[in-house]
Amino acid sequence: MNVTVIGTGYVGLVTGACLADAGNNVFCLDVDERKIGTLNENKIPIFEPGLEPIVRRNREAGRLRFSTEVAAGVAHGELQLIAVGTPPGGDGSADMKHVLEAARAIGRHMKGYKVIATKSTVPVGTADRIKGVLKEELSGKKPDLQFSVVSNPEFLKEGAAVEDFMRPDRIIIGADDERAIALLRRLYAPFQRNRERVIVMGVRSAELTKYAANSMLATRISFMNEVANLAEALGADVEEVRRGIGSDPRIGTDFLYAGAGYGGSCFPKDVKALQRTAGEAGRPLRLLAAVEAVNEAQKHVLFNKIENRFGNVKGKTFALWGLAFKANTDDMREAPSLALVADLVQAGAKVQAYDPVAGKNFQHEGVKVVPSALAALEGADALAIVTEWREFRSPDFSAIKARLKTPAIFDGRNLYDPAQLRELGIEYYPIGRKV
C-alpha cells in the first residue's frame, strides 16, 4: 500500500518505519528541513531500541522516503496518517495547530479519495474539526472529492515502541465509513496474523480511548505511590503489598511499581488535556486532579529523604544515576530527575549525573554530566537513582561504598534488596520499602 505519514517525530517515525518494514511504500512528510536532512543521512534524531536498522534497511530498499514536499506527500498515499505533535497549551489543552495545518495541506493538494487518520493524541471532537477544515479547503475548487476522517490512536511505549507496533495488543479504528475501515484493516493485517486485534468503534470513542488509557495508567502509578508512602509510615513494605494485590487477576501486575513519579511526553500532557476536555463538557474529573497532584508531590520525595538524612545539603555533592524519565529512551520531558536536580541545586548542592543516553545533551546549572556510573560517584556524598537503566540493577556495591563519602543510596526505583544493602553496610532509602 502507498501510505503517507505526516510528522517524523516519535510516533510518525516509528509508524512509518514499521509500516515500510511490512512491505508498504511509505512517504514520511515533515516541514522541518533539518530533521528530514538528518533522516536522509540515516541518522535517527531520537533514541529508540531497534529503530535505526529498520529505517536504514527500508530506505535502502526504497520503501521508506523522507521529504518536505507537501504536494508529493499528499499525492502519494490514499492513506494519510497524521502523526504531528500536540503539545500542551498554557491552559492544559492540547495545541491542535499542527494537526489542523496538516489537514489543511491535505485538502489543498488532494486530487482523489483520501482516508485521513489521526495517530496523534487529540481531544474528542478533533475528527469533526478536521472534516470542517477539509470541506473549507475543497469548497469552490473540488467540492465533489470524497474523503474519510478516522481516529487511529497509537499505543506505543517509549523504549519498546518498535515491539509495540509490530506486536500490538489492540488496534483501535474509530470510523463509520466501511471503505476507510477496510483500508485500515488491510494496512494492519500483517500485524495481527495470529489473532484479531482490530477494535472498530465510533470516532469520538476512539479519541477518548487514548486519553482514558493513559490516564488510567497514570492513576495506577499515583495510587501505588500513595500506598508506598503510607506503607513507609506504617512499617509495611510496598513490594510485598504490590505482589499481594497484583496476584488478583482483576488488578494485574502492570504499572503497580512505586517510584519517583511518572514523566515523559504522554502521561502528564494527556492527564491535563483530559481534565481540560472534561471541564469544558461540564464533567470535571476530580480523580485525575488528584492523580496529577500526587505525581507532582512524588517527584520531590527523594529530595525530602536526602534532606531528612543530611539536614543542610549546601556544599554537598550528590551522584545521580539516570536522567531520562524512564529507561531505554532519551526523553527528558517532565522527567522526575528534573525535580530532584532543581531541589538539590536550589538548596546549594552540586550534582554529578550519569545517563547512558540522555546525558549527552543535558545541561543544567550546578550539574556536571559524567561519562560513567562510577565517575558520578567520585567525591560524592551519596547516590540517588531516578531511572531504572539495566546497568544500574546489579552494580558493584563495594565500588559504590568505596567511592561515596557516606555509603547511602536514595533509590527512586526500588532496584535493590534492603537486606542485602544492610549486610553490606550501605544505608538504603527506597520508596515505601521496609529497611
pLDDT number for residue 361: 83
Distance in angstroms (rounded) separating the CA atoms of residues 330 and 238: 29
Length of the chain: 435
Distance in angstroms (rounded) separating the CA atoms of residues 65 and 74: 13
pLDDT number for residue 3: 98
Distance in angstroms (rounded) separating the CA atoms of residues 13 and 400: 39
pLDDT number for residue 91: 80
Q: Name the β-bridge partners of 80.
A: 4, 116
Q: How far is CA 270 from the centre of its chain?
A: 10
* Active site positions, annotated: 266
pLDDT number for residue 96: 92
Torsions phi, psi of 407, nearest 5? -75, 80
Distance in angstroms (rounded) separating the CA atoms of residues 86 and 95: 5
Distance in angstroms (rounded) separating the CA atoms of residues 78 and 142: 17
pLDDT number for residue 92: 80
Q: Would you give the DSSP letter of residue 94?
A: B
Q: Would you give the DSSP letter of residue 351?
A: E
Distance in angstroms (rounded) separating the CA atoms of residues 136 and 108: 9
In the block, cell 513490594 appears at 239
Q: Specify whether the CB–CB gap between 290 and 233 falls below 8 A.
A: no
| Low-confidence spans in the chain with pLDDT less than 70 | none
Strand order through the sheet with 2-6: 64-67, 25-29, 2-6, 79-82, 114-118, 147-151, 171-174, 198-201
pLDDT number for residue 87: 86
Distance in angstroms (rounded) separating the CA atoms of residues 384 and 320: 5
Other Cβ atoms less than 10 A from the Cβ of 271: the count is: 25
Helices 10-21 and 51-60: crossing angle in degrees, nearest 10, is 50
Please state, rounded to an integer, the average pLDDT across all residues of the chain: 96
Sign of CA dihedral 58, 4, 162, 188: negative
Ranges assigned E (strand) in 286-349: 317-321
Q: What percent of the chain has pLDDT over 70?
A: 100
